[in-house]
Structures are given as structure tokens and as C-alpha cells.
Amino acid sequence: MKKIIPSIFLLMCFITACKKENKETAVNQNEKTPQTSFQPENIKEKILYNRAVEAAIWGIPAVNFQLMYKEMEKLNGSYNQIVYWPGLLNWKNQTLTPNPDVIYLMPFFNTEKGPVVLEIPPADNGVFNGSVMNYWQAAIEDVGPGGMDKGKGGKYLILPPGYDKSKIPSGYFVMQSDTYRGYALLRSVLKSGSPSDVKTAIDYSKRVKLYPYSEASNSPKTTFVDASKAVYDSAIKYDESFYQTLNEIVQQEPFLERDRVMIDPLRTIGINRGQNFSPDARTKEIFKAAVNEARDWLIYNYENIKPFYGSANWFFPADEENIKSVKSSFGIKEIYPIDNRGICYMIAFFSAKHLGESQYYLMAIKDKEGNILKGSSSYKVIVPANVPVKQYWSMTAYNRDTHTFIRDLKWAARSSQTPGIKKNSDGTVTLYFGPKPPPEGESNWVPTDPKGDFEILARFYGPTPALFDQSWKLNDIEKVN
């Protein structure tokens, strides 16, 4: 008996130690994998939650589109009219990662009553860079020098789904849309940043025309909606209203063949064509959790996109499958990249049919050391000489949380066309980003918000091969304090 007691004691000590170790392991695992605050109460709620997550990832391009159009409606604008900004953009344009160095026009079209004509002027004293897209923001075709008219201008005829093409007379560039609604993003490109060249680009932009094809013989007038005086806020709202916006576009447009698989999942969450959408309080709670779960997934992928150069932290958001899908009008049956598409329309709007011909983009969310860009810190980037562009290059800072211009700041970018920008003696340009200007002054400085994170988008207009073969390479962003 005396020999057994120590053995029992040792066994009890071992069991206690194992329990303590298991408890510590569980705590560590919980620290590594934080749980969402939403917990489903039953299988119905779990499926509702899961399908709401997938619906958000799938539907984000359409929601992005619908939010932009609804902002136009607030200005008393409507379809088959053009919302425009008669001057360079400032922070009041709260669309996703817009370009502050061009003149913006967005013709919104609806072909339910028949084809719509978009007239593009020739590239004489101005030039357009842009694309026409369906409501999924997939490019139908590009316009301008990089598009179908090759800079000669012309009349683009946007056709509704199923339109009889034998009725089309000659003299039109035909764009067959697979949705009734859509829009174009047109950028009137500046020759320089001087006030006179800005005015020339504005005047050129007003030569665009948009009208129903049925009125083509009646010298129809184009309606321009000036958005420059209002806050045009189409930033995506990650709450229950996301699904209300998604429902609006589902009610307006028939399902594309490739999206019919979403009919039942959407019905599960209460979105069904021809029926009212009225989620109760508990469902709204689930929706809010679900859309933020979708956002977390997209952010995770966004932060882990393969670098463009291999070593530097610059990257292009759209992956190869997404680019191929847009070029083929999503005609490749073996791929349907809704995750990467969701990333792109979480941070931006617009797609080009022939990416790299008229413009290209590189993005950075981390500095040289791999740390997230903080608005409270100061950074610099040295842009090498001989940037491979025919038109211009620029760098713009955006609010990392909303992917919009940082509010209430006096400018958002610096470019090769910025009046007074300084070059180094070797032809390089040093740009600064931070809450305060550097000792060198404001000419090469982009302000940031010290209370938030930010991201930088580098634009290359009229890119040349040296960008793509990487014989010219953009340097990483370096922290300077």
C-alpha cells in the first residue's frame, strides 16, 4: 500500500499538468484564430449566414455600380445622361480610387427601350482614355486611341441583350451588352497640369454625346449632370444595407446564364426576383456579420497578392484569370474568378478590355520592410528617371479603410504633370507621403491622415514595354521617421 500511494500521486500530477497544457494550447489557438462575434443559433441561421457571405463576394461589382448610379440620382440625374466633374477631382468625389489628374465623365446607360448611342470625338486637341461596361463593370469595349475608334472618334452603338443586329445601319461601332444597364468611364487626359490645358481638357470632354438611338435623326441634346459641388459618396457600406442594394439590381436585371447558380442562394437570404425584400431585425444582424466576413476574406487575399516585381511590394490587383475573363466577356467556362473580382471592386471601379494598352496600375499597401502604411508616419519613394509612359505617371494616396480619397485634404496625388514638381539632378523624382510636408517643401508631397492607414496607387498612362518587361523598376516605399 505504501508503494501504491506515490504512484497515484504522480499520476494525478501528470493529469493536472496535461489539463493545464491543453488549456494553454486552447488559449493560444483562440488568440491566433479570433472568432467572429456572430454565432448562429441553428442550422437555418448558419446557412443564411454562409450564403450571405458568398452573395456579398459575388455581388460586390453590381453593388459598387448601383451605389454610383444612386449618387447620380441624388443630383437629379438619370440613365442615358452623363455625370461629370468640370475640373480636377478633389476629396468630395468619394468613389473608389478615382484619378485626380484627369477630367472625369461617367455616362450611365439603360437599353431597356432600345439601343443607346455614345459619340466619342476624334483625338485632336484632346484625348479620351476609357471603356464602356455592363452593370457587372466588365468591359464591353474600350474607346479612344486604345479602343475601337483608334483615336479617330465615332459613334458607338450600345445594344441591349438579344437585339437583332440586322437592323443596325453602317457607320457604328457596335457594342453588344449582356445587361440592359451599364456605364462608361471616360477620362479626358491633360497635356499638362497648367490651367489652360485643364480648361482644354474640360472643353474637349463636353464634346461627348449620349442619347437613345431612336432619337438619332432628331439632333438630340446630351444632358450633363455636374457633380463637382456635392459629396459623391459611393463607398461600399459593409452593413445590412449592402443586401438592400444588391436586391435592387437583382430586381432590375435578368440573371446572366453564368449566374443562375446564385438564384437559390439568394432566395435563401430573401432576395428573389419579383418579390419584396424585407429582412427582420435578426436577419439584418446576420447580414452585417456576413458582409464583414466577406470583406475580411477579400482583405486577406488583397494583402497577399503576388508582387509585380517579385521582391518589391508593388502589385497589380487583378490576377490572370480575372484579366482573361474580362477580355473574353467571361466566356471561358473553366474559370469564374469571383474572389479576385471581389477584391478589385472592393477597392476600385472600372475595367479595361485591353489592359496595358492605354493604362496600367501598380498598388502598394506596405513599405520596404513589409509594414502597413500608416498615416501618422512619413515615407518617401524615389521614382526612377525615364518612366515608361507616353502620356504621364502619377501616385495617389487613398484611405485604406474606404479606398476613397482621404477626406478634407487639399490634394491627393502628385504626378509628372503637377505644376512645380521637382526632379533630382539625375532625372529621378522623390515623392513624400505623410501628415506633414518634408523639409524640402510641399511640391513633391502628398498629405495623409494621421488617424488612419493609407494605400498608394501608381498610374501609368500610355505605358511602354519597359514597364512590363521590368527593365524599368519602381522602387519600394521607405519609411523616413
Pick from 197, 70, 182: nearest CA to 127: 197
Confidence grade of residue 22 (pLDDT, cut at 50, 70, 90): very low
Q: Catalogue the E-assigned strands of 331-408.
A: 359-364, 379-383, 389-399
pLDDT of residue 29: 36
Mean local confidence (pLDDT), 209-235: 96
pTM (two decimals)? 0.90
Q: What percent of the chain has pLDDT over 90?
A: 89
> Cα-flanking dihedrals φ and ψ of residue 226, to 5°?
-80, 120
Mark out the alpha helices in 126-174 (DSSP H runs): none
Q: What percent of the chain has pLDDT over 70?
A: 92
Secondary structure of residue 458 in the 3-state scheme: strand
Strand 154-159 with 116-120, pairing: antiparallel
Secondary structure of residue 182 in the 3-state scheme: strand
The shares of helix, strand and coil residues in the chain, as percent rounded to the nearest 5, are 30, 25, 45
Confidence grade of residue 11 (pLDDT, cut at 50, 70, 90): very low
Pick from 479, 428, 438: nearest CA to 313: 479
- Given a cut of 80, is residue 16 above it in pLDDT? no
Pick from 164, 168, 330: nearest CA to 156: 168
Mean pLDDT of the chain: 92
Enumerate domains of the chain plus CATH numbers. Answer: 46-61+242-291 (1.10.3360.10), 76-229 (2.60.40.1610), 305-479 (2.60.120.600)
Confidence grade of residue 9 (pLDDT, cut at 50, 70, 90): very low
Q: Please tell me what DSSP assigns to residue 39.
A: -
Contact 39, 286 (CB under 8 A): no
pLDDT of residue 167: 84
Position 452, amino acid: G
Residues 378-388 have pLDDT tens digits of: 999 999 999 99
